[in-house]
A and B are shown apart, each in its own frame.
Chain A
Amino acid sequence: MDLLSPIKDHHRERQLFIARVALLSAGSLLLLAIVIVRLVQLQVLDYEDFAAQSQGNRVRIEPVPPIRGLIFDRNGRVLAENLPAYQLEMIPEQIDDIDDTLHRLAALGLLDALDIPRLTQLAEAGPRFKPVTLNLQLSDEEIANFAIQRPRFPGVDFQPRLVRHYPHGEAVAHAVGYVGAVSSRDLERLEPSRYTGTAQTGKTGVELTVESTLHGFPGYRHVVTNALGRTVLAEASESGDALPADATPAPGNNVILSLDLDLQLLATELMRDRRGSAVAIDPWSGDVLALVSAPSFDPNLFAVGMSGAEFAELQNDPDQPLFNRATRGTYPPGSTIKPMLALAALETGATNLTRKTMCRGYFRLPNTTHRYRDWKPEGHGEVVLHDAIEQSCDVYFYEISTAIGIDRMHDYLEMFGLGRTSGLDIGGESSGLVPSRDWKRRAFRNHADQRWFQGETVIASIGQGYMLATPLQLASAAATLATRGVRHRPRLITATEDVVTGERARDPGEPPATVDIDNDYYWSSILDAMRAVMHGPRGTARAAGSGASYRMAGKSGTAQVFSLAQEEEYDEDEIAERLRDHALFIAFAPFERPSIAVAVIVENGSSGSRTAAPIARAILDQYLGFSKYARK
Chain B
Amino acid sequence: MRVSSTGKFVAQRPAPLNQFTRLVRSLNIDTPLLIGLLLILGVGLVVLYSAVGENLRLWLNQLVRLCVALFVMLFFTQLSPDFLRRWTPWGYILGCTLLVLVLVVGEVSQGARRWLDFGIRFQPSEIMKLAVPMMAAWYLHERPVPPTLRHVMTLLVLIILPTILIARQPDLGTALLIAASGFIVIILAGLPLRLLLMLLVLAAPGALLLWHFMQDYQKQRVLTLLNPEADPLGAGYNIIQSKIAIGSGGLFGKGWTNGSQAQLEFLPERDTDFIFAVMGEELGLLGVLTLIGLYIFVIGRGLYIAIQAHDTYSRLLAGSISLTFFVYVFVNTAMVTGLVPVVGIPLPLVSFGGTSMVTLMAGFGILMAINSHRKLLPH
Contacts and interface: CB of A to CB of B under 8 A. Distances in A.
Interface stretch (B67-75, B117-125, B247-255): B247-255
B246 A43 contact: yes
Interface string A3-33: 0011010110110111111011100110110
Contacts of A21: 188, 303, 306-307, 319
B247 A1 contact: no
A196 to B, nearest CB: 8
Contacts of A35: 292, 330, 333-334, 337, 339
Nearest to A188: B111
A1 B142 contact: yes
B250 A43 contact: yes
B244 A14 contact: no
Chain A interface size, under 10 / 10 to 19 / 20 to 34 / 35 or more: 35 or more
Interface stretch (A49-57, A83-91, A550-558): A49-57
B296 interface: yes
Given A20-B187, A54-B245, A127-B53, A188 B110 contact: yes
Contact of A43 (B144, B189, B285): B285
B244 A24 contact: no
Contacts of A38: 334, 337-339
B108 A188 contact: yes
A61 B232 contact: yes
For chain A, what secondary structure do more than half of its interface residues adopt (helix, strand, loop), or is it mixed? helix
Given A50-B247, A53-B244, A43 B142 contact: no
A133 interface: no
Interface string B231-250: 01110010001011111111
A17 B188 contact: yes
B257 to A, nearest CB: 13
A229 B267 CA distance: 13
A44 B330 CA distance: 20
Given A43-B251, A54-B245, A17 B184 contact: no
Contact of B146 (A1, A16, A31, A63): A16
A528 B335 CA distance: 78
Interface string B332-345: 01100111000000
Nearest to A20: B188
Nearest to B252: A43
B323 interface: yes
Given A1-B142, A32-B296, A127-B53, A42 B246 contact: yes
B288 A39 contact: yes
A517 B111 CA distance: 50
A372 interface: no
Given A5-B144, A17-B307, A39-B337, A57 B246 contact: no
B298 to A, nearest CB: 12
Interface in B51-65: 53, 55, 57
Interface string B305-340: 011000010011001000100100110011001110
A17 to B, nearest CB: 6
A348 interface: no
B265 interface: yes
Contacts of A11: 379
Contact of B190 (A17, A36, A229): A17
Interface in B362-379: 377, 379
A61 B237 contact: yes
Interface string B259-301: 0110111100000000000001100110011001000100110
Contacts of B300: 25
Contacts of A382: none
B377 to A, nearest CB: 7
A41 B117 CA distance: 46
A53 B248 contact: yes
> Which residue, A6, A46, A57, has most C-beta atoms of chain B within 10 A?
A57
Interface in A248-302: none
Interface string A572-598: 000000000000000000000000000
B246 A39 contact: yes
B108 to A, nearest CB: 7
B145 interface: yes
A47 B280 CA distance: 12
A25 B248 CA distance: 31
B339 A51 contact: no
Interface string B183-195: 0100111100000
A60 interface: yes
A17 B247 contact: no
Contacts of A232: none
Contacts of B184: 24
A318 B250 CA distance: 66
Nearest to B55: A125
A212 interface: no
Contacts of B244: 50, 53-54, 57
A369 interface: no
Interface string B88-117: 000000000000000000001011000000
B111 A229 contact: no
Contacts of A220: 233
Interface in A51-82: 51, 53-54, 57, 60-61, 63
B56 to A, nearest CB: 9
Contact of B250 (A6, A44, A63, A188): A44
A623 B190 CA distance: 86
Contact of A39 (B248, B263, B285): B285
A229 to B, nearest CB: 4
B342 to A, nearest CB: 15
Interface in A87-144: 124-125, 127, 129
B323 A28 contact: yes
A113 to B, nearest CB: 24
B280 A43 contact: yes
B144 A6 contact: yes
8 contacts: A13-B190, A14-B315, A17-B188, A28-B323, A39-B288, A42-B337, A51-B248, A53-B247
Interface of B: 53, 55, 57, 108, 110-111, 142-146, 184, 187-190, 232-234, 237, 241, 243-251, 260-261, 263-266, 280-281, 284-285, 288-289, 292, 296, 299-300, 303, 306-307, 312, 315-316, 319, 323, 326, 329-330, 333-334, 337-339, 377, 379
Interface of A: 1, 5-6, 8, 10-11, 13-14, 16-21, 23-25, 28-29, 31-32, 34-36, 38-40, 42-44, 46-47, 49-51, 53-54, 57, 60-61, 63, 124-125, 127, 129, 187-188, 193, 196, 220, 225, 227, 229
Given A17-B315, A20-B187, A24-B187, 10 more contacts: A6-B144, A8-B144, A17-B189, A17-B307, A39-B246, A42-B337, A43-B249, A44-B285, A193-B233, A225-B264
